[in-house]
Amino acid sequence: MNALHLLATTVKPVENNPILNISIFLAFVAVTLIIVIRSGRNNKSAADYYTGGRSFTGPQNGFAIAGDYLSAASFLGIVGAIAISGYDGFMYSIGFLVAWLVALLLVAELMRNTGKFTMADVLSFRLKQGPVRVAAATTTLAVCFFYLLAQMAGAGGLVSLLLGINDKLGQSIVVTVVGALMIVYVLVGGMKGTTWVQIVKAFLLIIGALAMSIWVLALNGFNLSALLDSAVAVSTSVPADAILAPGLKYGTNPLDFISLALALVLGTAGLPHVLMRFYTVPTAKEARRSVVWAIWLIGAFYIFTLVLGFGAASLVGADTVLAAPGGVNSAAPLLALALGGPLLLGFISAIAFATILAVVAGITITAATSFAHDIYGSVIKKGKGNPDDEVKVARRTVIVIGILAIAGGIGVQGQNIAFLVALAFAVAASANLPTILYSLFWRGFTTRGAVWSMYGGLSSAVLLIIFSPVFSGTDTSMFGAAVDFAIFPLSNPGIISIPLGFFLGWLGSVTSTVKESPKLAAEMSVRSLTGHGAEKAVEH
């Protein structure tokens, strides 16, 4: 089918059916708000607000983890990346999935056994509470902010496509509405409300992706080779079959690809909002079960992205995707439009929007919990504050984070959200993962090592991102090609910042004159392996 003909048949129905699209979208928002309000009624304590009272089973938490992890980047960004870049785009799916092995084998059960509410509970267990908690809260807020930027960018592009909004002002209003909804979700529902929204959303997202994948395969006689051939037939790359081989996007700079791969594979185990999900189950056994469920659900979904991405390349075309209001992030909704018309477009877009709302709610409550529990409760009040006051501080923090996320989301409109999430993964892998692994497995680790590792990994990752082509020097940069202060040639800083984080953790520990308590180190080792006394693992 001719690309210009497709463009005419895709954009017009979106503009002519805003009432249908907004009706489906509002129905999803109404249902999820009812879930949040009903769940929020049972929030009677800090544990209820932060971790849902540890009341979720392994399968329930597995769906919630999948809901947290399968963000707008997974659905919109990766499908778009595959539609445009083919094989190189699918590397996002591979990286995100393989990363779960690191989380499962190295940190999931041990983190749950050692901590109570946040990542900092584990990192500060046998170290000095003040400096380590402040550093951990700082890195948590930074990772959450980068992740929120990606979700907000996805929301703006998605709803703009739904309603046919092409101007920046209209998209900015959309981002503002998303931020306001996110604030309401978290203020009212807490962790319990957001968890149930994530469970519902994960189920709908996987079912929707499965249905579209079967539809695409049915059009190609359930023959994956035929699907790939049809994608090559309409490809505008030179040569046409370049979308089936590595190098279309990263061929000019293999180091950029290696850096991206490191960030994706190592980043999951350092994502605070994913780690926090392990605290919502009652036992270590349920934590293991939840991760196994999550791996199966996430793995199945990423197989669907391969079909959906090449389906979009075949049925919609790369040029049409790039010309749409949401740019590369529009591939999945446009594929739904090509398959089932405005009704399927509205349904799939509503699922994607529920995805964004659920993920931003989970990220926001993680950031707010980290500030309230780690900085206010443990550092300012030195562990002697009222838990109810902590929750009040967390609620106020939600509003501040929401405002910052709205402002940032307006600034990154048009960026590929899978790429933005990869930056969040790089910061998580650089600032959090070294400290987590050292804390769990190295008894010689010290407070200085933890602080150096977290601040060093964070600052190096952020600085390299600022002085990379992400911010300036190219047409796709945040400031465009007219402004150029890019002195770091790679788009992802992981290849430099991740080893630096590990090195600084080691250097700070071996040069530290203050050795940590061997008794607490032994206690942490026993607790992490057995879970004995985990509920009390907060203050020393």
- The residue with tokens 């047409």 is 475
pLDDT computed for residue 216 by the predictor: 94
Could you tell me which residues come within 8 angstroms of residue 167 by beta carbon, excluding any fewer than 6 positions away?
none
The pTM is what?
0.79
Q: What pLDDT digit, counting tens, does each position of 321-372 carry?
A: 888 766 787 888 889 888 888 888 888 877 877 777 777 777 888 888 888 8
Residue type, 520: L
Distance CA 219, CA 37 (A): 42
Calculated CA dihedral for residues 106, 110, 111, 113, nearest 10 degrees? 170
pLDDT reading at 9 higher than 60: no
Q: Up-side HSE of residue 325: CA atoms within 13 Å toward CB?
A: 27
DSSP letter at 236 equals -
Distance CA 351, CA 185 (A): 16
Rg (CA), the chain: 22
Higher pLDDT, 479 or 344: 344
Residue type, 71: S
Could you tell me which residues come within 8 angstroms of residue 204 by beta carbon, excluding any fewer than 6 positions away?
351, 354
Could you tell me which residues come within 8 angstroms of residue 181 by beta carbon, excluding any fewer than 6 positions away?
29, 357
pLDDT reading at 170 higher than 80: no
What number of other Cβ atoms are within 10 A of residue 232's Cβ? 19
- The residue with tokens 């990869």 is 422
Residue 7 confidence class, pLDDT cut points 50, 70, 90: very low
With a pLDDT cut of 70, the percent of the chain lying above it is: 86
pLDDT reading at 460 higher than 90: yes
Rounded to the nearest angstrom, the gap between the alpha carbon of residue 256 and the centroid of all alpha carbons in its chain is: 20
Distance CA 214, CA 491 (A): 35
Could you tell me which residues come within 8 angstroms of residue 98 by beta carbon, excluding any fewer than 6 positions away?
264, 265
pLDDT computed for residue 538 by the predictor: 42
Residue from 486, 468, 480 nearest 423 by CA: 468
pLDDT reading at 451 higher than 90: yes
Could you tell me which residues come within 8 angstroms of residue 357 by beta carbon, excluding any fewer than 6 positions away?
29, 32, 178, 181, 182, 185, 197, 201
Q: What φ, ψ does residue 221 adopt, rounded to 5°?
A: 65, 25
pLDDT reading at 501 higher than 70: yes
Higher pLDDT, 288 or 432: 432
Report in angstroms the alpha-carbon separations of 205 from 171, 200, 231, 502, 510: 24, 9, 24, 36, 48
Residue 429 confidence class, pLDDT cut points 50, 70, 90: very high
Report in angstroms the alpha-carbon separations of 452 from 120, 278, 302: 15, 26, 36
Distance CA 462, CA 149 (A): 14
pLDDT reading at 217 higher than 90: yes
- The residue with tokens 């996110």 is 182
Calculated CA dihedral for residues 528, 530, 535, 540, nearest 10 degrees? -50
Whether the ω angle into residue 59 lies within 30 degrees of 0, i.e. cis, is no
Q: Where do the H-state alpha helices sit in 70-167?
A: 72, 78-85, 87-102, 108-114, 119-123, 129-163
pLDDT reading at 476 higher than 80: no
Could you tell me which residues come within 8 angstroms of residue 124 by beta carbon, excluding any fewer than 6 positions away?
132, 133, 136, 378
Distance CA 504, CA 367 (A): 25
In the chain, what are the domains? 22-424 (1.20.1730.10)
**DSSP conformation letters of 191-260:** HHHHHHHHHHHHHHHHHHHHHHHHHHHHHTTT-HHHHHHHHHHT--SSSGGGGGSTTTTTTT-HHHHHHH
Residue from 523, 51, 40, 59 nearest 275 by CA: 51
- N-to-C CA span, the chain: 67
